[in-house]
Amino acid sequence: MAATATLYHAQLTGWERIKEFFNAKFINILALSLFLLLAVFLLFPIFAVLVKSFQGPEGFTLAHYENFFTHAYFFQSLYNTLLLGLINTIICVGVGFCFAYMTTRGPMALRKPLKIVAMIPLIAPPYLFALSLIILFGRVGLITKTFGVNWEIYGFDGVVIAQTLAFIPLAFLMLENNIKSLNPNLEESAYDMGATEGTIIRTITLPLLAPGLLKAALLVFVMTIAEFGNAAVLGGRVPFLAPDTYTMIVGEADFSMGSVLSVMLIMPCIMIFIAHNYLLKGKKFTTIEGKPIASEPRKMSPFVKVPFITVTFLFGFTIFICFAVVILAAFVNILGVRNEFVMRHIMDFRSNMAIWNSIRVSFIAALVGGIIGTLLSYVIVRGKFVGRNLIEMISLSGFALPGTVIGVGYLIAFASPPMKLTGGIMILALNCVFRFLAVGVEAGITKLHQINIEIEEASWDMGATFFTTFRRIVLPIMFPAFIAGFIYTFMTAMVSLSAIVFLVSPGYELAAVTIFDAAAYGKIGLASATTLKMIMVVILCMIVLNLLTKFTNLDIERKGGAA
């Protein structure tokens, strides 16, 4: 037997040697390729923006920054953006907490409905609220006209309101998760010792939630200052960094100033990313493990119940109205002016083409994103090379980076050969792939932590090569994570606007951009109809996700049972 083995080795052809090499080093080769992809499509564009902002006709210059800081307009823009972020953060986290508290500690009957209301905005693009606010409070808005209100939505207030409504779900989801992991016995102990509900919230719930609150606040802050649509549509004459960057680049083709604005936008994000890691280090309260106990509903004290119900109902109702008017506007000729039922907005050819383009782009992005996310999570968890943490950090950081900056970065980085991508469909898909990797990677990591590495080792033990093991064992197990990454990327790519608005070219109009343009030019019906169709696609997508998870789970269970 030994003789045959040696003989066999001696007779390896060149091709077989290469195969053997790949089998042995597969994971490292994979990691390196993935790292290169991240470097090219995530780090390089940002680096390009940075370089551009320091680049004058004769090399290095600080002139653009000087320009920025000496013009009151730009400074105002920065100030507005930060102020907007601050106000949004406070309101979103506050309201998000009210919702999260009610859905975890409130009366049973209210938990589910409130949760649904708080999550509804997730199925729509954030700029839906800009649209509905125009419908309600615009120059010919329903409320403005009906009640003769002399207040216009365009301006700082309008942006604040739209952004708040758009980012409540984010704060809510994070806080709900946090409250759910709080041991209800802690609050019950305080209750037992005579504390009233208000006191419990103040002395127990909120302090224990502090790390979660901080995390939610930082994330909301980063997301709101980077969000482009609401500020661009409702901002009016009030300057904000994200839309100003757009004006600089698309309107005036001033790439240097556009880059400076981008750097200004990304600075707070980086600082917050660092602060976040620093502040939350070791800030996790550990308690004695008990069995997880579902919190039983307790009678809420009126001093808590009344304000919390008021806040949640008020915001819930507003969110509901905003959706309702957009649906309405999609079927009305010109809402408030010519109130007749029409299908022309829904049937609009350009809008349908844009939706179709968006589906195509999102599908490509989702497919590529799902694959890369799955592979990334594999090398992060199973790899044994230095720099794993770095890869993990980079791939997770994508979604906290302002889309505007990525858009500008892609425009600068991929405008000329050898990597000319602008003007095509791939650039639209690729930026979505790398910005929205985080969910797929996280899902993959979680999945891999659940399965024992011994399953893979058993396969090797039985004589399978690494590659066979990967294909036959790892990939099937990772399939649910792939699906999660796929669907998430698809949904976010469908609605994403801030990066794409820089990268669309004639012939590849996307739904998000169509909505933005229509809303900006007051074509409310068209914008609403396109939004509605977009929401439908997203909902359809979620239904498919549900069915797929059910199906794959069943499948895995059945296979597991048969084995």
Partner 1 sequence: MGTNEQPTLILKDIHKSFGKNKVLNGISIEVNKGELVTFVGPSGCGKTTLLRIIGGFTEHDSGEVILDGRSIGHLPPNLRDTRICFQNYALFPHLTVGENLAYGLKVKKWDKKKIRERVDELLTLVQLEGFKDRMIDKMSGGQQQRVAFARALAFSPKVLLLDEPISNLDANLRVLMRDEIRRLQTELSITTVFVTHDQYEAMAISDKIVVLSDGYIQQVGSPIEIYDHPVNEFIASFVGYVNFLPAKIDSIIKETDAAVVSTEYGKLEIDIEQTEFAPGTEVLLVIRPETLKIAPSNGTVTTQNVVQGTLRRYIYSGALAKCHVVLGNDKEVIVDIQDPRDHVPLRENEKVDVTVSRNVHVLKKRA
Ligand X SMILES: Nc1ncnc2c1ncn2[C@@H]1O[C@H](COP(=O)(O)OP(=O)(O)O)[C@@H](O)[C@H]1O
Closest to partner 1 by CB, 40 or 110 = 110
Q: Residue 426 corresponds to which tokens in the numbers above?
A: 């791939």
208 lies in the site for partner 1, by CB under 8 A: yes
Q: Closer to partner 1 at the Cβ: 211 or 423?
A: 211
193: contact with partner 1 by CB under 8 A: yes
From the CB of 294, what's the least distance to ligand X, in Å?
5
299 touching partner 1, by CB under 8 A: yes
Q: Which of 192, 386, 450, 462 binds partner 1 (CB under 8 A)?
A: 192
Residue 279: count of CB within 10 angstroms of its CB: 14
Task: Determine the interface stretch with partner 1 among 199-207, 326-334, 514-522, 549-557 (rule: CB under 8 A).
Answer: 199-207
Cβ atoms of 527 and 518 within 8 Å: the answer is yes
294 binds ligand X (CB under 6 A): yes
- By CB under 8 A, residue 454 contacts partner 1: no
| DSSP assignment string, 482-503 | HHHHHHHHHHHHHH--TTHHHH
When asked if residue 195 is in the footprint of partner 1 (CB under 8 A), the reply is yes
Is residue 340 involved in binding ligand X (CB under 6 A)?
no
Comparing every residue's Cβ against ligand X, the nearest one is: 296
Query: How many residues touch partner 1 (CB under 8 A)?
Result: 27
Of residues 90, 110, 157, 188, which one binds partner 1 by CB under 8 A?
Answer: 188
Using the minimum distance from each CB to ligand X, give the nearer residue, 61 or 185.
185
Pick 83 or 186: Cβ nearer partner 1: 186
Other beta carbons within 10 Å of 235: 22
- State which H helix or E strand residue 340 sits in: strand 338-341
Longest dimension (CA), the chain: 96
- 254 φ, ψ to 5°? -95, 90
DSSP-H helix ranges across 227-338: 229-234, 241-246, 255-279, 302-330
In the complex with partner 1, which residue's Cβ is closer, 196 or 546? 196
Report the nearest approach of partner 1 to the CB of residue 192 (Å): 5
Do 249 and 258 contact (CB within 8 A), yes or no? Answer: yes
Q: Which does 294 bind (CB under 5 to 8 A by kind): ligand X, partner 1, none?
A: ligand X
Q: What is the CA radius of gyration of the chain?
A: 26
Closest to partner 1 by CB, 192 or 454: 192
395 membership: H or E segment, kind and range: helix 388-397
| Partner from partner 1, ligand X, none contacting 133, C-beta within 5 to 8 A by type | none
Q: Least CB distance from residue 206 to partner 1, whole Å?
A: 10
- As a whole number of angstroms, the distance between CA 294 and CA 296 comes to 6
Cβ contact 318:165 at 8 Å: yes
Q: Which of 58, 192, 289, 296 binds ligand X (CB under 6 A)?
A: 296
Residue closer to ligand X, measured from CB, 289 or 296? 296
The verdict on 199 binding partner 1 (CB under 8 A) reads yes
Binding region for partner 1 (CB under 8 A) out of 125-133, 134-142, 296-304, 311-319: 296-304
Number of residues that this document lists for the chain: 563
Rounded to the nearest 10 degrees, how much is the dihedral formed by the CA atoms of 111, 112, 115, 116? -160
Q: Which does 507 bind (CB under 5 to 8 A by kind): ligand X, partner 1, none?
A: none
196 in contact with partner 1 (CB under 8 A): yes
Q: Which strand (E) or helix (H) includes residue 192?
A: helix 184-192
Q: In this structure, which amino acid lies at residue 324?
A: A
End-to-end Cα, the chain, rounded Å: 32
DSSP state of 238: S
DSSP string covering 43-89: IHHHHHHHHHHTEETTEE--HHHHHHHH-HHHHHHHHHHHHHHHHHH
If one asks whether residue 296 binds partner 1 (CB under 8 A), the answer comes out as: yes
Does 186 sit near partner 1 (CB under 8 A)? yes
- Binding of residue 290 to partner 1 (CB under 8 A): yes
Q: Which residues bind ligand X (CB under 6 A)?
A: 294, 296
Residues engaged in binding partner 1 (CB under 8 A): 183, 185-186, 188-196, 199, 203-204, 207-208, 210, 285-290, 296, 298-299
